[in-house]
């Protein structure tokens, strides 16, 4: 906790908290990164659940590169948002839930990609297995849970 108190006392933290435009700019970047990552992941999950069967799965090779860029933007902007109020955030249940949902979402995306790679036969794709569908639904739930808990943070955080 001493480290977090120290971190919160640093100039960057104070700048983010006190700037009229700094925090909203970082939050906007975080929202853009989130839209890119979650948008692509949800479309991928929906495709694996059987929606838009004419959409080739190979299109996601390029889209996942864009998703990684969105994730990088989220990692940087998320770290800055955390630095702005680390003492309160580390004890904030919605923040902790959001972090858990992001980890779980990342693991389910990884698992979906592995399961789907095993079902490729040449250029054809075998129908989604029950396992794939369960993981795809879990993936959707985790990412929507991360967004929801992230939104709730603003309503539960107090400067004390």
The Cβ of residue 48 has, within 10 Å, a number of other Cβ atoms equal to: 23
The pair of three-digit structure tokens given for residue 130, joined into one six-digit string: 């029950």
The pair of three-digit structure tokens given for residue 147, joined into one six-digit string: 């967004």
**DSSP one-letter code for 155:** H
Instruction: Output the pLDDT for position 95.
Output: 96
Q: Is residue 45 within 8 Å of residue 79, measured between CB atoms?
A: no
Whole-model pTM?
Answer: 0.86
Rg of the chain in Å (alpha carbons): 18
Question: Containing domain of residue 47, as a range?
Answer: 2-156
Instruction: Output the pLDDT for position 130.
Output: 87
Instruction: Output the pLDDT for position 45.
Output: 93
Instruction: Output the pLDDT for position 61.
Output: 84
Q: Is residue 137 within 8 Å of residue 117, measured between CB atoms?
A: no
Mean pLDDT by 10 residues, the chain (160 residues): 85 86 93 97 92 85 93 96 92 96 95 74 63 93 97 78
Instruction: Output the pLDDT for position 127.
Output: 65
Report the interhelical angle of 22-48 vs 11-18 (nearest 10°): 90
Phi, psi of 19 (to 5 degrees): -80, 135
Q: How many domains does the chain have?
A: 1
Residue from 158, 7, 24 nearest 93 by CA: 158
Instruction: Report the distance separating Cα 65 and Cα 84, nearest Å.
Output: 29
Instruction: Output the pLDDT for position 120.
Output: 56
The pair of three-digit structure tokens given for residue 95, joined into one six-digit string: 């923040």
- As beta bridge partners, residue 124 has 121
């Amino acid at each position: 906790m001493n480290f977090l108190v120290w971190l919160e006392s640093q100039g960057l933290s104070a700048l983010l908290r006190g700037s009229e435009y700094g925090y909203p700019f970082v939050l906007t970047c975080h929202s853009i990164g989130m839209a890119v990552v979650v948008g692509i992941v949800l479309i991928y999950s929906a495709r694996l659940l059987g929606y838009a069967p004419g959409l080739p799965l190979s299109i996601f090779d390029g889209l996942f590169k864009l998703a990684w860029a969105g994730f990088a933007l989220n990692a940087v902007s998320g770290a800055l948002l955390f630095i702005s109020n680390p003492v309160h955030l580390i004890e904030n249940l919605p923040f902790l839930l959001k972090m858990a949902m992001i980890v779980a979402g990342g693991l389910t995306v990884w698992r979906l990609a592995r399961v789907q790679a095993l079902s490729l036969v040449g250029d054809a794709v075998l129908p989604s297995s029950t396992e794939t569908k369960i993981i795809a639904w879990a993936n959707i739930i985790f990412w929507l849970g991360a967004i929801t808990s992230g939104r709730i943070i603003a309503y539960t955080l107090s400067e004390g």
